[in-house]
Chain A
Amino acid sequence: MSSAVIENPNRRDFLFITTAAVGAVGAASVAWPLIDQMNPDASTLALSSIEVDLSPIAEGQIVTVKWRGGPVFVRHRTKKEIDDAVNTPLSELKDPQTDQARVQKPEWLIVSGVCTHLGCVPLGHEGQYDGWKCPCHGSVYDTSGRIRQGPAPLNLPVPEYAFLTATKVKIG
């Protein structure tokens, strides 16, 4: 045994720390591909928009279209439905938003058909406000798709969409 003075930190500490650091980076960079493979893949991401022809949708009718694997409601609202939505005071809303902020043209309401509680598809023309009612845990939405009662915390989200012509919209 030599009597050499052992410095602190010594060469062993340095090797230990650098090895551990390289090991941690290595483990993380192997873990990421294993985790990320579960995210939506390229073919899923490619299906990002659809076009909907509005001409066959009668006033008062709700049509459910499939966008990104899930439902989107396209609702041709009646005058009364529009008025009910517009005249609702913001103070009565759980997730306050004006009707105007949720539509581009008042007669066409386009909202996601996924209940913001746990994802069931609400039923149209049901519930106290004649908007939607969710069969799963009873969340009630109004004619603007805003949450009014039940466990869902948020309004039905409005997807990105644009009117291509007066009777055609592109969703997504």
Chain B
Amino acid sequence: MSGTPSYVPKSAIGKWFESRLPIMGLVHSSFVAFPVPRNLNYLWTFGAILAFMLGAQIVTGVILAMHYVPSATEAFASVEHIMRDVNFGWLIRYLHTNGASMFFFAVYVHMFRGIYYGSYKAPREVLWILGVIIYLLMMATAFMGYVLPWGSMSFAGATVITNLFTAIPLVGTGVAHWLWGGYAVGDPTLNRFFSLHYLLPFMIAGVVGLHIWALHVSGQNNPEGVEVKDVERDTVAFTPYATIKDLFGVSVFLIVYAWFVFYIPTYLLDADNSVQANPLVTPAHIVPEWYLLPFYAILRAIPNKLVGVVALGAAIVLLAFLPWLDTSSVKSGKYRPVFRVFFWLFVACCVGLGYLGSQEVSDTATLIARILALGYFGFLLVVLPLLGVFEKTKPLPASIADAVLAKTKPAEAVAPPASH
């Protein structure tokens, strides 16, 4: 609420410190007094869930690194050593491995939320682009992490992904040798991936800082997609309202996470990765981790190497251009009846591509993957730009407060607002 006073330290030492480094004031204005729209639903708790997961990955990862050995001859055995000998090693590793999946699940919910409610539109373009950068860094981190246990799927994944660069005309092979530090994926590759896998999460943390800074400049979007007009009527204070709701969201999420870790810890793992890497043999059926499957399916759907690689990259990079591809001035899908249908079709394309990415190549699977890939790009490049011109949107509520009150008190909904 706007009436919340700015932070005034109570103790003498607090005052002394605050006048030298006003950090408590920053925390107070960002996480206590910060006004949040009063109509946020649970999809808005995923930001907090993501922040939690980043912390969890860093804590479990730093611990794993105390026992892990980044060497082609010893890495596989060192992970087995973590699983069998290190006290609670199995727990830490399963938390880290399943944590990566939970992290991606959360980021996908967070991103689809952003698309559905048009959260990338002005004034939140930079906020959105920072998000896409985080997503790219997450994919790089997870990919390199997956290489570390040096199982046969680790090796195949490292080979296929680094070979994407060989599609670059002229310099491609040189770039690949540079990435590998050799003529194939090997010991030097594993060592540098470990170094980068340790580094990137901290870079993610840095970009998350910028992401939250940008968020606190523009304020949060909300399910109605109309901006805050009157802080007094449209918002509530971050603490206690959002803090408690976020904590509840994180707790429910943790139940699911714990269920994976304790009951089905290997459900998302690939049995082939329990076989040590052998550079002379590729497993019969290679699949990436589930969170990369849609992109993998797009790559496989295209019969030409260079075009396939470009399409794979475009599928990700295009997301950064969403603020300009989506030409509609109405943000929330709630008021965009046609967009809403296409949005769910887009989600279906992504899920369908993910499924096909996990299946063996066959003519029908490839055909369907092509149709779905067309759907994916069609949504971004054709549907979104055109809808802004042709779609007839529903009338927007005058304010967040009006929308909320209309829902809770239908009778007196349009009672004259107290003040303006």
Q: Indicate which residue in A38, A66, A117, A118 contacts B179 across the interface (CB closer than 8 Å).
A: A38
Contact (A118, B160) CB under 8 Å given A40-B177, A151-B305: yes
Contact partners of B284 in chain A: CB under 8 A: 123, 135
Contact partners of B178 in chain A: CB under 8 A: 35, 38-39
The CA-CA distance from A153 to B302 in the complex, in Å, is 12
Q: Does the CB pair B286–A120 fall under 8 Å?
A: yes
Asked if B186 is at the interface (CB within 8 A of a chain A CB), the reply is yes
The CA-CA distance from A137 to B285 in the complex, in Å, is 9
The CA-CA distance from A116 to B159 in the complex, in Å, is 12
The CA-CA distance from A79 to B393 in the complex, in Å, is 71
The CA-CA distance from A119 to B281 in the complex, in Å, is 11
Contact partners of A66 in chain B: CB under 8 A: 279-280
Asked if B416 is at the interface (CB within 8 A of a chain A CB), the reply is no
Q: Indicate which residue in B163, B186, B192, B306 contacts A69 across the interface (CB closer than 8 Å).
A: B186
Contact (A40, B163) CB under 8 Å given A69-B279, A135-B283: no
Contact (A137, B279) CB under 8 Å given A39-B177, A40-B182: no
Asked if B3 is at the interface (CB within 8 A of a chain A CB), the reply is no
Interface hits, B141-164 → A, CB 8 Å: 156, 159-160, 162-164
| Chain B, interface residues (CB within 8 Å), range | 35 or more
Contact (A69, B280) CB under 8 Å given A151-B304, A151-B308: no
Q: Indicate which residue in A40, A64, A70 contacts B181 across the interface (CB closer than 8 Å).
A: A40
Q: Does the CB pair B184–A114 fall under 8 Å?
A: yes
The CA-CA distance from A66 to B159 in the complex, in Å, is 16
Chain A contributes a number of interface residues (CB within 8 A of B) equal to 31
Asked if A74 is at the interface (CB within 8 A of a chain B CB), the reply is no
Q: Does the CB pair B156–A69 fall under 8 Å?
A: no
Contact partners of B302 in chain A: CB under 8 A: 151
Interface hits, A83-132 → B, CB 8 Å: 113-114, 116-123
The CA-CA distance from A113 to B299 in the complex, in Å, is 22
Asked if A23 is at the interface (CB within 8 A of a chain B CB), the reply is no
Contact partners of A3 in chain B: CB under 8 A: none
Asked if B183 is at the interface (CB within 8 A of a chain A CB), the reply is yes
Contact partners of B303 in chain A: CB under 8 A: 150-151
Contact partners of B164 in chain A: CB under 8 A: 118
Give per-residue flags for B280-308: 1 if the beta carbon is below 8 A from chain A beta carbons, else 0.
11111110000000000001101111101
Contact partners of A41 in chain B: CB under 8 A: 181, 188
The CA-CA distance from A145 to B74 in the complex, in Å, is 34
Residue of A nearest to B305 (CB): A153
Contact partners of B285 in chain A: CB under 8 A: 135
Asked if B136 is at the interface (CB within 8 A of a chain A CB), the reply is no
Contact partners of B300 in chain A: CB under 8 A: 137, 151
Which A residues have a C-beta under 8 Å from some C-beta of B?
Answer: 35, 38-41, 44, 64, 66, 68-71, 113-114, 116-123, 134-138, 150-153
Listed by A's residue number, 25 A-B pairs whose Cβ atoms lie within 8 Å are A38-B179, A38-B192, A39-B177, A39-B178, A40-B177, A40-B182, A44-B188, A68-B182, A69-B186, A70-B279, A116-B305, A119-B163, A119-B166, A120-B282, A121-B281, A122-B282, A123-B284, A136-B156, A136-B282, A137-B361, A150-B303, A151-B303, A151-B305, A153-B304, A153-B305
